[in-house]
Chains A and B, each alone.
Chain A
Amino acid sequence: MKSRHKKLLVIVLALAGIGIAATLILNAFQSNLVFFFSPTQVANGEAPGDRAFRIGGLVERGSIKRDPDGLTVRFVVTDTAKSMNVVYKGILPDLFKEGKGVVAEGKLGSDGVFTSTQVLAKHDENYMPPEAAHALEQAQKAQKSLVK
């Protein structure tokens, strides 16, 4: 084996070693790397109860209610399996809509209501003109009524 091939082998082995080490470290930190918990995870007690954390999911359709003060908003975050009541006082991002993704930071109260200090909108990776989105929605509705 030539010395340069030996060197190349050493480099490849070292890289493999670093890769394995990184995998193990990332695995160990798995729970800390999570940006938000889903309502199901919260229901299973995976979220930290004593400190602030984030929940993520979809804003349930028809669940957004505003208090008379005009600032406090109540809505339900769902991952279709479980859902959570959220209350938030403040300005909402433009993309905050019923049926769309949301990430809320705050604390879980003893009454099961999540009091949020910050609400972020989470959008998906789909980009299309409004007409296409409309057509897609119509097609889905048509399909649903066929199934029924």
Chain B
Amino acid sequence: MNLYTYASPANFYILAGKLIPWFAWGAGLFTAWGLYIAFFLAPTDFQQSEAYRIIFIHVPAAWMSMFIYLVMAFWGAIGLAFNTRLSFMMARALAPTGAIFTFIALWTGAWWGKPMWGAWWVWDARLTSELILLFLYVGIIALWAAIDDIKRGDRAGSLLTLIGAINVPIIYFSVKWWNTLHQGASVSLTKAPSMAATMLQGMLILAIAAWLYTIAVAMARVRRIILERERQSEWVKALLEKES
């Protein structure tokens, strides 16, 4: 089997159709499991008491908001360099989910900030750079929608994605580089996590759930895009005939 087979939209359409249920069910199961830990098993926090539980949504959403952007930038770069059709479709399919996760991260952050810090919003480096990420997502989606020529739109959107990618390390390291109101990372590659084990477990399970959800909806979206773009081709016509 050759992996490049699936770079062809026609083959990927079928593969994605088979994989979506697995990822969707996985996402559902992991969400239920993670939320059960978050609400019933994880202990109360010593300084924030119950309010800290918003971390179980906030952190996975914030991670995904940055990670999806990097994946979009990756597909954009591949598309620009190798002119592969499916890469641009993947980038377009991921953007709405990334924007939603960014919004969730900002929204839950505001809900967390008011009771803990005493403010819904402050203009510190972490919050501001995350807000710029939301504007980037919305701007890229708007740019794609504004250009009727699909090929030109793909290139312009991916170029903007690549330029904006510089914002992701700024978000991630903002709490290290500058004085911010936002606290530093509890979980990172360079040190042991500064969280109780059960809390960490719940958060990681919900992060996996967010991954599975993202893969499932991105695949569903990319299938629509494939059908729309290849509607003149023989295989789509044959498929539609078979289904009708």
A→B interface (CB under 8 Å): 4-5, 7-8, 11, 14-15, 18-19, 22, 26, 30, 33-38, 56, 92-96, 100, 103, 118-130, 132-134
Contacts and interface: CB of A to CB of B under 8 A. Distances in A.
Contact of A26 (B52, B165, B170): B170
Contacts of B55: 127
A35 B125 contact: yes
Most A-side CB within 10 Å, residue of B52, B55, B181: B181
Contacts of B118: 92-93, 96, 118-121
Nearest to A96: B118
B183 A130 contact: no
Interface of B: 43-48, 52, 55, 77, 80-83, 115-119, 122-125, 162-163, 165-166, 170, 177-181, 183-186, 194-196, 199
B47 A34 contact: no
Nearest to A90: B118
B158 to A, nearest CB: 10
Contact of B166 (A5, A18, A123): A18
Contacts of A124: 183-184
B102 to A, nearest CB: 19
A49 to B, nearest CB: 19
A4 B83 CA distance: 8
B180 to A, nearest CB: 5
A123 B162 contact: no
17 contacts: A7-B80, A14-B162, A22-B170, A26-B170, A26-B177, A30-B178, A35-B178, A36-B181, A93-B118, A94-B116, A95-B47, A119-B118, A120-B118, A121-B116, A125-B185, A125-B194, A133-B46
Chain A interface helix/strand/loop/mixed:
mixed
A129 B163 CA distance: 43
A92 B119 CA distance: 11
A122 B181 contact: yes
A22 B166 contact: yes
Nearest to A6: B81
A19 B194 contact: no
B184 A15 contact: no
Given A93-B117, A123-B47, A7 B185 contact: no
Contacts of B194: 125-127
Contacts of B115: 93-94
Contact of B43 (A7, A118, A129): A129
A132 B44 CA distance: 11
Given A26-B170, A95-B47, A127-B199, A120 B180 contact: no
A18 B159 CA distance: 12
